[in-house]
Structure 1
């Protein structure tokens, strides 16, 4: 018998989300079936629609624990950089390493959901997430170049196109690591290697400020 919407317990929502993780992980968004999700969760479709307007809304709730958390982590990371009493682009490695560790802690604690995000890159919600992440990275780099100490002379090298490309390089470095079967410790160490390489390339074209690298 179909439950009335007002009597559907929160446990039902949890079962639906767990079932949806399995369904989206196995079939992807396009081929996922709401009927199979309900059957696996042992609930009616009416119960599903009580919590989620449609498959899109269900998918949003499935990926949100990862996408929302990552955006929050990046925001906190950028605030630490901005609030540093001495914004020194050359000597800012430790904060980059810290956020690298936090990212992989998040990834390995939520591998199923992360794989759903990565295997549905064409979905508008996922596309929007990556666009927002890239935009945050672009804006942060532009800001740090402005706040940098010692003051950097103007340079045509660090235009919006270059900075946007550099943001993509950082994302691609993480995706490359995730494409290999590394454990958490290996992934963290590999990302630190890549951070050093990316920073080295970036710093090599900084305008001369008299700083010895």
Structure 2
């Protein structure tokens, strides 16, 4: 394939993903139309199926760049507050700062948190989030168990992790500026630390 053909091919794929991002944000996964996506991207449906095997495959291409990184940011954020409460290490989450890497992701993928939030039960989203929720739940349970806390049972830890993940996504999906997002995350961090303190008592 010539370099020009490769460039054109790459531009076509990027155009499809950009068009699909807007369509999924406006209509949700179920309501999104592949025909509309192709029309707005200025390509045929044949071109779409050259790059993507299905609607789900296209959806995954839209959400995976952010979702492959976001759960790790969430886990680091939760782990930081666990260390503050359980180990008395470090300071609480900084009200003025976002977790490392989050600002860059939000600027690059501003519509994706909204897409994720409105499609929380989509298999692609569930695969990304549920795996990380399980990891966070285990981390919380292990930390609390070392303190002989009553909240170390699997149910409470999993509920805590699920609530944290959903709140994290909802805050990011509110279409507010980065400073407001940082403030909301800091407020939720205070809530998280209160729950951890209660579990340790």
Q: Is the 8 A contact 1:104 1:188 kept in 2?
A: no
For 1:54 and 1:140, locate their aligned partners in 2 and report how far apart those are by CA, in whole Å.
Answer: 36
Q: Secondary structure at the match of 1:9?
A: helix
Once the 2 structures are TM-superposed, how far is the Cα of residue 199 of structure 1 from its aligned partner?
0.8
Residue of structure 1 equivalent to 2:99: 101
Runs of 4+ in 1 over 6 A off after TM superposition: 5-8
* Residue pairs, 1:12-31, within 5 angstroms: 12-31=12-31
Q: TM-score, normalised by structure 2?
A: 0.77
Judged with a 3 Å threshold, the aligned counterparts in structure 2 of structure 1 residues 189 and 92 are, in CA distance, closer, same or farther, namely: farther
Q: TM-score, normalised by structure 1?
A: 0.74
Once the 2 structures are TM-superposed, how far is the Cα of residue 169 of structure 1 from its aligned partner?
3.1
Residue of structure 2 equivalent to 1:161: 155
For 2:89 and 2:107, locate their aligned partners in 1 and report how far apart those are by CA, in whole Å.
Answer: 26
Q: Which runs of 5+ in 1 are unaligned?
A: 208-213
Judged with a 3 Å threshold, the aligned counterparts in structure 2 of structure 1 residues 38 and 177 are, in CA distance, closer, same or farther, namely: closer
Q: Check if 1:89 corresponds to 2:86.
A: yes
* Residue pairs, 1:183-202, within 5 angstroms: 183-202=177-196
- What is the RMSD of the two structures over their aligned residues, measured on CA atoms? 3.2
Once the 2 structures are TM-superposed, how far is the Cα of residue 178 of structure 1 from its aligned partner?
4.8
Q: Is the 8 A contact 2:38 2:44 kept in 1?
A: yes
For 1:185 and 1:200, locate their aligned partners in 2 and report how far apart those are by CA, in whole Å.
Answer: 23
Q: How many residues align?
A: 192
Once the 2 structures are TM-superposed, how far is the Cα of residue 193 of structure 1 from its aligned partner?
2.4
Residue of structure 1 equivalent to 2:130: 131
Q: Which runs of 5+ in 2 are unaligned?
A: none
Larger Rg: 1
For 1:52 and 1:43, locate their aligned partners in 2 and report how far apart those are by CA, in whole Å.
Answer: 13
For 1:38 and 1:158, locate their aligned partners in 2 and report how far apart those are by CA, in whole Å.
Answer: 50
* Residue pairs, 1:1-213, within 5 angstroms: 9-74=9-74, 77=76, 89-92=86-89, 94=91, 96-97=93-94, 100-102=98-100, 104-105=102-103, 106-145=105-144, 152=147, 154-175=148-169, 177-178=171-172, 182-206=176-200
Q: Is the 8 A contact 1:24 1:32 kept in 2?
A: yes
Q: Is the 8 A contact 2:85 2:197 kept in 1?
A: no
Once the 2 structures are TM-superposed, how far is the Cα of residue 108 of structure 1 from its aligned partner?
4.8
Q: Could you tell which deviates more after superposition, 122-131 or 51-60?
A: 122-131
Q: Is the 8 A contact 1:28 1:116 kept in 2?
A: yes
For 2:102 and 2:6, locate their aligned partners in 1 and report how far apart those are by CA, in whole Å.
Answer: 39
Judged with a 3 Å threshold, the aligned counterparts in structure 2 of structure 1 residues 199 and 182 are, in CA distance, closer, same or farther, namely: same
